[in-house]
């Protein structure tokens, strides 16, 4: 059976790590908007150059750039039997767009998984990654943007009864176990 999953949660919650594990277990692609964007920046594509300015300021990349990426990616052959979206949707407009896109593709999200982690734990985790764009002020700005723009997406999916919230402030193995239980 196809699994179509959406992973929500703040930066540093472990979405990418967990999505990789679930992706391997279910043999479905892990579609990370962050990875797609970082690759575009490194390759200096037109999208990458536009995205880099926003990312350097800790701002979200505009919807129109992200929406085109997602629409293209869900059309790939490997996404026919399922997928995990990691880092998308990030706001209610993107969630509504995704709902319309999936209806066009005659698909639906089976489950929306929200990883919850306290902000101070996230700041510590992100600083420990030592990425060039992860300094404390940028991290705190990203969390502000998350609370302002992405938290309403949680309500969007809660109203559709597809949301399951997972405590992401535990050892990774325990988080994986709870995620696997939630998507059965």
Instruction: Return the active site residues.
Output: 15, 90, 129, 131, 142
Which residues pair with residue 167 across a beta bridge? Answer: 116
| Length of the chain as a residue count | 184
Query: Which 8-state DSSP code applies to residue 76?
Result: S
Q: How many CB atoms lie within 10 A of CB 182?
A: 13
End-to-end CA distance of the chain: 11
Residues 6+ apart with CB under 8 A from 52: 41
Structure tokens at 55: 């990312």
Structure tokens at 101: 């896109």
């Amino acid at each position: 059976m196809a699994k179509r999953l959406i992973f929500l949660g703040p930066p540093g919650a472990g979405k990418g790590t967990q999505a990789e594990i679930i992706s391997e277990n279910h043999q479905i692609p892990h579609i990370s908007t962050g990875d797609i964007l970082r690759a575009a920046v490194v390759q200096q594509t037109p999208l990458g150059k536009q995205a880099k300015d926003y990312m350097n300021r800790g701002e979200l990349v505009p919807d129109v750039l992200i929406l085109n990426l997602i629409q293209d990616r869900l059309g790939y052959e490997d996404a026919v039997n399922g997928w995990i979206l990691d880092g998308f949707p990030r706001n209610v407009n993107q969630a509504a767009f995704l709902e319309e896109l999936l209806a066009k593709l005659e698909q639906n999200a089976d489950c929306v998984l929200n990883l919850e982690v306290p902000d101070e734990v996230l700041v510590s985790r992100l600083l420990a990654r030592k990425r060039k764009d992860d300094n404390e002020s940028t991290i705190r700005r990203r969390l502000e943007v998350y609370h302002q723009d992405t938290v309403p997406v949680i309500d969007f999916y809660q109203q559709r009864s597809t949301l399951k919230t997972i405590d992401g402030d535990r050892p990774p193995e325990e988080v994986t176990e709870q995620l696997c239980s939630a998507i059965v």
